[in-house]
Chain A
Amino acid sequence: MADTTLSATVPARPGRLREFWRYFRENRGAVIGLYVFAAFVALALFANFIAPYDPTVQNRAATLLPPAWQEGGDWAYPLGTDPLGRDMLSRLLFGARFSFFVGLVVVIIASTSGILIGLIAGFAPKWLDTIIMRIMDIILSFPSLLLALVLVAILGPSLVNAMIAIAIVLQPHYVRLTRAAVMTERAKDYVISAKVAGAKLPRLMFITVLPNCLAPIIVQAALSFSNAILDVAALGFLGMGAQPPTPEWGTMLAEAREFILRAWWVVTFPGLAILITVLAINLMGDGLRDALDPKLKRS
């Protein structure tokens, strides 16, 4: 608002981060999401100090112990134990590490490669652009989970391969977004003037245009962060992600499946952890969108 009355005495525009925070704060859900997310990250980072036990140590004397508040529970194992007598709480805490790690790595791989390809497509001659976009169409024709599943089956089931597969599946979204943003920016006066001033292609791509395309990409990053966590858990659940005894949440659910009617806690807690994490990230994503890209604002 103050921008319309620009004069020498107007104080400097608040820092970008400050401004961003001001808009982000308006969305209460997003702030709650941020706090929950931060808390989970802290738990994951300090898992080895907080967790009462080693997540893989088995205690044969205490298998399938219910949570402490239930009859037969023991406060030594607050959330109970799994069929092999491992402490649920410790496994969940260490599992958070895997989920956040996976989300982070997948987003970094998918976004950097996607942004790069999208920039190239946006600046490339028509024929190259067409080829790139057709390839992305092809990847998007496969349901993501199915494509990831087949990729992992071929590469061999492991957490690393699951991450690679999911990054490949998520990357076309970045390509499309970046290309679309580049297309609209490219025709604007500031880009043309930079070109006239003699800016070379790499400078045009990365310094002139890219920063102005980032808003929708950041929102997409939040979305794919939660998608990555869900997909890795789904792959783990199908036996194609992290392998036992890794305390990954999806893998924990797969191991617990046969006990669902006897021990609700081995099934309930890992899934709840996935749900809360994904929900927190999606809430944050909504807030990010409102703050960064007012045009996309939902209501």
Chain B
Amino acid sequence: MLRYFLSRLLTFVPTFLGVTLISFAFIRVLPGDPIIAMAGERGVTPERYAELQEQFGFDRPLIVQFWDYFTGVLQGDLGQSFVTRKPVWDEFFTLFPATLELSTCAIILAVVLGLPAGVIAATHRGKLFDRLLMSSALVGYSMPIFWWALLLIIVFSGNLGWTPVSGRIDLLYYFPNVTGFMLIDSLLSGQSGAFGSAVKHLILPSIVLATIPLAVIARQTRSAMLEVLSEDYIRTARAKGLAPARVNGLHALRNAMIPVVTVIGLMVGTLLAGAILTETIFSWPGIGKWMVDSIFRRDYPVVQGGLLLVAVMVMVVNLIVDLLYGLINPKIRKR
């Protein structure tokens, strides 16, 4: 087990180096000069250009620049934003709780609905419920979520007026940022109605972001359950006369959970990609919107740092999933 642990950790190192190199290379090597881009339509005089190059260190050899960047990254220094002049790291951590809050709600929604749906579909295989559920799962899986978000806004914000269109909370409420999670902060503030407002703002974005994970979890749970249900030990359990609920719930579900948990773990990338679209549409001040805005403002240090942080997040979660998987399933360790 320790060997498996170490070998997985070891592969993390080159991948991390590569991810850093790619986020670095994107900005410096590919066509497009960051200084010209920053200056925009106004243009820049040759003297000022040279000055700026020196200021940002763009005049030094690429390898030196990369080394500086890499050592900086290891010390938690990702440079500072061209626009706000604040360190990229600080900006990321101010905005990250918003994305975390939204993603957590989305994944909870997806698991709470998707898991039972998949189990019921598997135990009622071929019945009407199964077919309905699998068709809707396929629709959810095929959904362009940016359009889905607009439709929900039309119906629930436009026609029914139930939910707000954008933001995290009504401007009416103001309270100090304690945890960065609006749901917790609004409760801590003790202002009446603040929590309700935060919840209302969270509903539509969570539904949108949960759509694809929900479909994937439901499909995965169903197929994992079907596979387990055809095993001999399930037949034995049934033959012993155990109640169906006990067979399905205890014997089958527990074993079917292994692939399902893996899929949930590997969904981080999907969630973050979805957050880009969801946050942009609902003006949700998280890292997805931050990245898109920075791309449009050509704020290169932010794009670079954000790309790196997001990739590292995905890598860390994948690593954890891998290690947990090795822990649960001894077969995998031998590879």
> Closest CB-CB distance, B219 to chain A, in whole Å?
8
A267 located at the interface, meaning its Cβ lies under 8 Å from any Cβ of chain B in the complex = yes
> Is B303 in contact with A282, judged by CB distance below 8 angstroms?
no
> Is B138 in contact with A150, judged by CB distance below 8 angstroms?
no
B189 located at the interface, meaning its Cβ lies under 8 Å from any Cβ of chain A in the complex = no
> Is A234 in contact with B14, judged by CB distance below 8 angstroms?
no
> Closest CB-CB distance, B281 to chain A, in whole Å?
8
A144 located at the interface, meaning its Cβ lies under 8 Å from any Cβ of chain B in the complex = yes
User: A260-B158, A267-B151 given as contacts; is B144 within 8 A of A138 (CB)?
Assistant: no
Residues of B within 8 A of A137 (CB): 11, 15, 18
Selected contact of B15 from candidates A29, A138, A145, CB within 8 Å: A138
> Is B144 in contact with A141, judged by CB distance below 8 angstroms?
no
> Is B311 in contact with A134, judged by CB distance below 8 angstroms?
no
> Is A143 in contact with B310, judged by CB distance below 8 angstroms?
yes
Residues of B within 8 A of A278 (CB): 142, 144
B147 located at the interface, meaning its Cβ lies under 8 Å from any Cβ of chain A in the complex = yes
The contact sample of 6 A-B pairs, CB cut-off 8 A, is: A137-B18, A138-B15, A151-B26, A237-B277, A238-B277, A275-B144
User: A238-B280, A282-B141 given as contacts; is B150 within 8 A of A257 (CB)?
Assistant: yes
B109 located at the interface, meaning its Cβ lies under 8 Å from any Cβ of chain A in the complex = no
> Is A282 in contact with B142, judged by CB distance below 8 angstroms?
yes
Contact with B along A255-267 (1 / 0, CB 8 A): 0010011001001
Q: Total interface residues on A, using CB and 8 Å?
A: 48
> Is A261 in contact with B154, judged by CB distance below 8 angstroms?
yes
Contact with B along A195-238 (1 / 0, CB 8 A): 00000000000000000000000000000001000100110011
Contact with A along B296-334 (1 / 0, CB 8 A): 101000010001001110110010000000000000000
Q: Which of B27-35, B75-83, B191-199, B254-262 contacts A (4 or more CB under 8 A)?
A: B27-35
Contact with A along B141-157 (1 / 0, CB 8 A): 11110111011011001
A238 to B291, CA, bound (A): 12
Selected contact of B277 from candidates A141, A145, A150, A226, CB within 8 Å: A145
> Is B310 in contact with A146, judged by CB distance below 8 angstroms?
yes
Residues of B within 8 A of A261 (CB): 153-154, 157-158
Residues of B within 8 A of A237 (CB): 146, 277
Selected contact of A143 from candidates B146, B272, B312, CB within 8 Å: B272
> Is B144 in contact with A146, judged by CB distance below 8 angstroms?
no
Selected contact of B307 from candidates A146, A233, A260, A275, CB within 8 Å: A146
Q: B138: nearest residue on chain A (CB-CB)?
A: A282
B273 located at the interface, meaning its Cβ lies under 8 Å from any Cβ of chain A in the complex = yes
A173 to B62, CA, bound (A): 31
User: A141-B315, A261-B158, A274-B144 given as contacts; is B277 within 8 A of A155 (CB)?
Assistant: no
A113 to B298, CA, bound (A): 31
A41 located at the interface, meaning its Cβ lies under 8 Å from any Cβ of chain B in the complex = no
> Closest CB-CB distance, A117 to chain B, in whole Å?
16
B6 located at the interface, meaning its Cβ lies under 8 Å from any Cβ of chain A in the complex = no
> Is B151 in contact with A271, judged by CB distance below 8 angstroms?
yes
Residues of A within 8 A of B263 (CB): none
Q: A144: nearest residue on chain B (CB-CB)?
A: B273
> Is B314 in contact with A142, judged by CB distance below 8 angstroms?
yes
> Is A238 in contact with B292, judged by CB distance below 8 angstroms?
yes
> Is A150 in contact with B153, judged by CB distance below 8 angstroms?
no
